Amino acid sequence: MSQRATTTYPTGDPGAVDRFVVAVDVVLLSVVDGKLRTVLVRRGEEPFSGDWALPGVAVRSGEALEDAAARALADKARLNETFLEQLYTFGIPDRDPRSRAISVSYYALVPELALRAALDESSELVLAVIDHDGIHHPDGRELAPAFDHARILATAVERIRGKLDYSSVGFELLPRRFPLRELQAIHETILGQPLNKDSFRRRMITSGRVRATGVREVDTPYRPAELYEFAPPGESTQANETETR
């Protein structure tokens, strides 16, 4: 006969187990004016009143984590229907001075035009710059986000850097059709280093992750470049097979 598993509490009293709050914090990332940016919200209450923090909310009873993340973006940053992906769970005991709080973090990727329209020059939001020196206000002042949000931000940046070469991360920050130079600029900004133009172009095309549209740019000071679009896995292979028949 199998033995039923039992839960052992440190004190032997189930009531002594700590109560905690589950929150969702969202790292919203974009490339604006050639710089990697994130949206921070000015806190209007303690703790850290007046400081900047990631958009976040406490998860409601019966609410799915993904719905809470979407609510945080809609309520705090006025953004809807945004690419969201779960990042990591942060649970250091003293991360919130009010009580034990577990943060399930997400990251969201938003193209520049959509982000500018959503921000609408709100004084309660700031489009902070992320670079090798830390996090800065657009006026150059260094920012120290509330709670452990600097750590959450760093984790998100590390994650998207690691996913650039095999996922749709870079494409989420572009319009549906784009010249390859814009895709390269996105990669360079996220990685924080320049890339060889010919090598990058060759790698993108041979990977099958982009496909030519046959359309060229208009109203550009440059020589009109051909526009490309993201090719989801499998679609580019099928298209190439059809063309060779």
What is the CATH number for 121?
3.90.79.10
Looking at 135, 163, 191, the residue that finishes a domain is 163
| Residue 6, in any domain of the structure | no
The reply to whether 37 and 126 lie within a common domain is yes
Phi-psi region of 185 (alpha: psi -120 to 50; beta: other; left: phi over 0): alpha
Q: Which domain holds residue 183?
A: 175-244
CATH of the domain at 183: 1.10.10.10
The reply to whether 130 and 207 lie within a common domain is no
Looking at 113, 138, 163, the residue that finishes a domain is 163
Q: What angle do CA 67, 68, 71 make, to 5 degrees?
A: 85
Q: Is 100 helix (H, G, I), strand (E, B) or coil?
A: coil
Global pTM reads 0.85
The reply to whether 154 and 184 lie within a common domain is no
Q: What is the pLDDT along the chain (245 residues), one digit of tens a residue?
A: 444 444 443 555 555 556 789 999 999 999 999 999 999 999 999 999 999 999 999 999 999 999 999 999 999 988 888 889 999 999 999 999 999 999 999 999 999 888 887 777 566 899 999 998 999 999 999 999 999 999 999 999 999 999 998 999 999 999 999 999 999 999 999 999 999 999 999 999 999 999 999 999 998 887 899 999 999 886 644 444 333 33
Q: Given this model, what pLDDT does residue 93 score?
A: 92
The reply to whether 78 and 136 lie within a common domain is yes
Taking the CA atoms of residue 234, residue 178, residue 181 and residue 82 in that order, the dihedral angle to the nearest 10 degrees is -80
Looking at 107, 128, 163, the residue that finishes a domain is 163
| Residue 182, in any domain of the structure | yes
The reply to whether 198 and 148 lie within a common domain is no
The reply to whether 33 and 127 lie within a common domain is yes
Q: Is residue 50 within 8 Å of residue 41, measured between CB atoms?
A: no
The reply to whether 207 and 235 lie within a common domain is yes
CA distances 70 to 41, 112, 153, 180, Å, are 15, 19, 18, 31
Residue 155 identity: T
> How many domains is the chain built from?
2
The reply to whether 78 and 118 lie within a common domain is yes
Task: Please choose, from the candidates 80, 76, 78, the residue with its C-alpha nearest in 3D space to the C-alpha of residue 149.
Answer: 76
Q: What is the CA radius of gyration of the chain?
A: 22
